[in-house]
Structure 1
Amino acid sequence: MKKLLTALKRCVVLGAAALAIVSLQPVSAAQAAERVVGGTRAAQGEFPFMVRLSMGCGGALYTQQIVLTAAHCVGSTGPNTGITATAGVVDLQNSSGRVQVRSTYVYRAPGYNGTGKDWALIKLAQPINLPTLKIATTTQYNSGTFTVAGWGANREGGAQQRYLLKANVPFVSDAQCRSYSGYSGLVANEEICAGLPSGGVDTCQGDSGGPMFRRDASNAWIQVGIVSWGIGCARPNAPGVYTEVSTFASAIASAASSL
C-alpha cells in the first residue's frame, strides 16, 4: 500500500474484526479503499494464483493451502478463523468458478513492527485446487519490469474494485527510491521499489499483500515482491514499495512447513 501524507500501508479494513496494522509513518488504512492505478482488466485465468482476502488485502497461493500476504494485513501469529480467501475469479461478483475458503491460522513475520519484514502466511481450512506462484529465492529477478495485480482502487482515494486489474511497473534502485521525499526510511535488502518517475501506474490501497511478479528464465511467473506501502497512489516521483521476497524466502519456506 502507499503512503498518503504520512506513509500508509495499502490495506483496507472491511469489517470490525479485521485489523489494519500501520507502518512507522502510521495512518489508518481504513481511510482509503483502492486498487491498481493505470491498469487494465486481467483475463479470467490469467493469474490463477491471485487471492482476495476479506479484510481488504490481496495475496497469492504459496501452496494450495497457504496464502502469502503482507504482515500489516493480519494480526499476530496464532489460530485465526476470521479471514475468507476468495480465488478462481477475476470478477468478485461472479459465483461461477469462485472458491471461498476460511482461514485456520495466521503466521506473521517474526519481529514485524511496521518497518520492513512485511510478510505473512495464512493457512486455509482446505486446499484450493489452483496453480501456485513460486517465489524468488535469490536477487536474480529483482530488476527489470514487474507485473502487479489487485482489486484495490484505480485512483488515489478511490473505491475497491469488482474486477482484478493488472499493470506493469519498472524497477527503481534503492538509491533512486531513497532520493524521493518520504522514502528515506526504505529498508535496504528488505524492500524493493518499482514505479514510473512520471507516476500514473501503481498499486494502491486495497492491493496490500498482493504479489509483484515477473517471468523467470523458464518464462514462468515468479514472485519478487509483496505490496507494502508508498506515498499516495501513482504520484510522480513516488514509487510503490514492496517486500523483497528473496530476502525472506528461507524464512517463508520454514514457516510454511510448520503450518
Structure 2
Amino acid sequence: MSGGIWEWRALGVEGSGCGCGKANINPYRIAGGHDALENEYPWMLYLIVSLNFSRIYCGASLIAPSWAMTSAFCVDYDYNKLSIVYGMHKFADNNDNNTVEVDQVIVHPNNNADKLEYDVVLLHLKTPVPLSDEVLPVCLATTPPRLGTTAVVSGWGVFNEDGDIPAVLQEAPLKIKSNKRCQKAYDNIGFTVPDSVICAAKKDIDVCAGDNGGPMVIETSKNVWTQVGIVSFGFGCPNKDYLGVYSRVDSIFDWIVSIVNEFHRGSHSFITEVYAKATNLGFGLNGARK
C-alpha cells in the first residue's frame, strides 16, 4: 500500500490542487479523429489482459499514482495477469520500464453485465506510477456534462469492424447527447439504456474494439481536462444509427472516493481534501513534501 498519503492528495477534481487533468495539447487543434500527439493525454493507459494462450487489450485511465479505472468488460475473462502501460504512444510499444502489474481488481457493486450497468472497475497497481509532465492523473467529474458539450475520446482500438489497428494513439471529438435520444436509437434492438451512462456521437466518428475502458474527457478550464465517461459499448463502429455509450464518472465518484479511502485507511482522510478543493497541497509529483 505504498504511496497512501499521495493517493488521497492526487485523486481529485479540478481545483483541488492535485495537478490532475493537465494535457500536453492545444485543445483547439482537434477537428476530427486522427493521430494524437505523443504524451498528449498523460492519463491514458494501455491495459493488457493476459490469458492462457493469448492476450487482449483495452484502454484505461490513471486516476492516482496507484489507481487506474477501466471497463468491467475488460476484466471479465479467466486471465492470468493484468498489467497497465503508461506513457505509451505507439501501439504495443511497452517494456518493463513503463509496465506495472495490477494486484487488485475492484468491480462496482452494482455492475450488471447483462444490462450493461455500472460497467466499471478500479485497478490497484502493484507499484505507483512515477508522475511527470508526461504521466499525470486525470480529473474526475462530480457532475454530468451538459448536453452538446464537446468531449474527446482516445484509444488504440481498431479503425473499423474490419479490424485495422492504428500505429499510434487516436483521438476524436464527440458531442454529448441526451439519454432520451440514445434510448430512441437503441429501442430498435430492444435495449434499455441505463441511467448510469451518458451517450455521445459525431458523424463518421466512433470508438471500436480495443477502445473499451478508455476515458472520455471534457475541457473544464483552459487545458484542464476532466473524465466524464468510460468507453462502455455501442452497436457497430461507426454506425450512424447508434450512439456510443459511456459509463458516467459522476455517478461513481463517491464510490471511487470510498474505495481509495478504505484502501488507504490510516492515512488522513482525503474525502475532505477532494471536496474542499484546496488550492495548494504543497506536495511534489513524487509524493514528497516540497
TM over 0.5: yes
Contact 1:105 1:124 (C-alpha < 8 Å) held by counterparts:
yes
State the percentage of identical aligned residues.
Answer: 30
Q: 1:67 to 1:183 in 2, by over 3 A?
A: farther
**Quick one: distance in 1 between partners of 2:160 and 2:70?**
22
Equivalent of 1:249 in 248, 253, 268: 253
In 1, are the aligned partners of 2:61 and 2:68 still within 8 Å (CA)? yes
Give distance in 2, aligned partners of 1:126 and 1:116: 30
Query: Secondary structure at the residue paired with 1:257?
Result: helix
Aligned counterpart, 1:51: 45
Structure 2 unaligned blocks of 5 or more: 1-31, 50-56, 264-290
Counterpart residue type for residue 199 of structure 2 = C
Q: In structure 2, do the counterparts of structure 1 residues 183 and 100 end up closer, same or farther at CA, with 3 Å as the change threshold?
A: farther
Sort the Cα spacing of 1:248 and 1:93 in 2 relative to 1 into closer, same or farther, 3 A.
Answer: closer
- 1:110-125 to structure 2, matched below 5 A, reads 110-114=109-113, 115-125=116-126
2:190 and 2:44 mapped to 1: Cα distance?
28
Determine whether 1:138 maps to 2:139. no
Alpha-carbon offset, residue 258 of structure 1? 2.8
Alignment partner of 1:256: what SS? helix
Flag the 1:183–1:133 CA change in 2: closer, same or farther, 3 A: farther
| Residues 89, 97 of structure 1: 8 Å contact kept | no
Structure 1 position 226, deviation (Å): 0.2
Report which of the two structures shows the higher radius of gyration computed on alpha carbons. Answer: 2
Aligned-residue CA RMSD in angstroms?
2.2
Asked if structure 2 preserves the Cα contact closer than 8 Å seen for 1:88 and 1:98, the reply is no
> Structure 1 regions of 5+ residues with no counterpart?
1-37
| TM-score normalised by L of structure 1 | 0.77
Counterpart-to-counterpart distance in 1, 2:60 and 2:222: 23
Report if the CA contact (8 A) 1:89-1:98 is conserved: no
Deviations 1:80-121 (A, max 9, x none): 971111111211354699611111110011131212111111
Higher helix proportion (structure 1 or 2)? 2
Q: Which residue of 1 aligns with 2:238?
A: 234
Contact 1:87 / 1:98 at 8 angstroms: preserved in 2? no
What is the number of equivalent residue pairs in this alignment? 216
**Pair 143,69 (structure 1): closer, same or farther in 2 beyond 3 Å:** farther
Q: What is the CA–CA distance in structure 1 between the aligned matches of 2:119 and 2:73, rounded to whole Å?
A: 6
Measured against aligned partners, the alpha-carbon deviations of 1:170-206 in whole angstroms (never above 9, x if no partner) come to 1111111111133741012x0000002xx41011110
For residue 42 of structure 2, give the secondary structure of its aligned residue in structure 1.
Answer: coil
